[in-house]
Amino acid sequence: MRIILLGPPGAGKGTQAERLVKKYNLPHISTGDIFRAAIKAGTELGKQAKEYMDRGELVPDDLVVSIVKARLTEPDTAGGYLLDGFPRTKAQAEALDASLQELNTPLTGVINIDVAQEELLERLTGRRVCRGCGATYHIKFNPSTVRSVCDKCGGELYQRDDDTIETVKQRLEVYHRQTEPLIAYYQQQGILHSVDGAQEIDEVFQEIVQFLDKFVNS
Ligand code: ADP
Ligand code: AMP
């Protein structure tokens, strides 16, 4: 299965991806995670990406596209993958289409996680992420058992630098301007499947699974 998770920041893409890649045994390709790892490692890519991420802007298309293209030629993607946070612009979506056409590996489906704007601000400012394993929590909606400690690996939970109110507002605006048009883009291709992301985490998961189970072995 070659799947894209689409949706605004805070929709629950990472939360669902964590569960879906386990169930379907797919590599999880999150461009946000790739950039955060590069920042942590102090690489040139990390330095370039950080400038944009700190402002709540998108990293330039050419940089993102070249990274994803390279990632999609790695052997672990031969049986499929889950893209999370990519594509985010029409230019990225077109570059991905061209690349997949060359590889003769069409997308299986695009899952759009739909959540109202009012909910997103609270989700993002209350998000906490594990420094160790990357698991995602929420101080109110999905808290860890012990405050600031990851249930899965015991790692420390932290708040992302870009999850402050000001940056979140900017990211939501960037989403509306640059990413939301991709809903129509994939609808036109006939591969979009929207799910109601306002439900409980497990309910959203079940809805996605119901859709994806049709494609197991494809
Ligand atoms: P994204 O990857 O789309 O930016 P996340 O998966 O990181 O979003 O989720 C954003 C925040 O919202 C996290 O703190 C997460 O725990 C919480 N969250 C995710 N899904 C739900 C849900 N269905 N209901 C309530 N909170 C959720
Ligand atoms: P995320 O982890 O998906 O919330 O992404 C965090 C930040 O990384 C975004 O606000 C962007 O600055 C950058 N980023 C992640 N994915 C992309 C992408 N596909 N295109 C451009 N910028 C991206």
Can you spell out the DSSP letters for 35-103? HHHHHHHT-HHHHHHHHHHHHTPPPPHHHHHHHHHHHTTSGGGTT-EEEES---SHHHHHHHHHHHHHH
Distance 110 CA to ligand 2 centre (A): 18
Q: Over the stretch 169-197, which tens digit does the pLDDT of each residue have?
A: 999 999 999 999 999 999 999 999 999 99
Instruction: Tell me the mean pLDDT in the region 65-78.
Output: 96
- The answer as to whether 22 is a domain residue is yes
Q: Over the stretch 2-42, which tens digit does the pLDDT of each residue have?
A: 999 999 999 999 999 999 999 999 999 999 999 999 999 99
- The answer as to whether 197 is a domain residue is yes
Domain holding 177: CATH number? 3.40.50.300
Domain with 186, as residue range(s), is 2-26+79-216
- The answer as to whether 154 is a domain residue is yes
- The answer as to whether 31 is a domain residue is no
Dihedral sign, CA of 137, 141, 147, 151? negative
Please state the pTM of the whole predicted model: 0.96
Number of domains in the chain: 1
Atom of ligand 1 at shortest range from CA of 8: 3
The β-bridge relationship of strands 81-84 and 157-158 is unpaired
Give the active site residue among 2, 36, 123, 127: 127
Best mutation site among 20, 136, 162, 167 for ligand 1, i.e. most ligand atoms within 8 A of its Cβ? 136
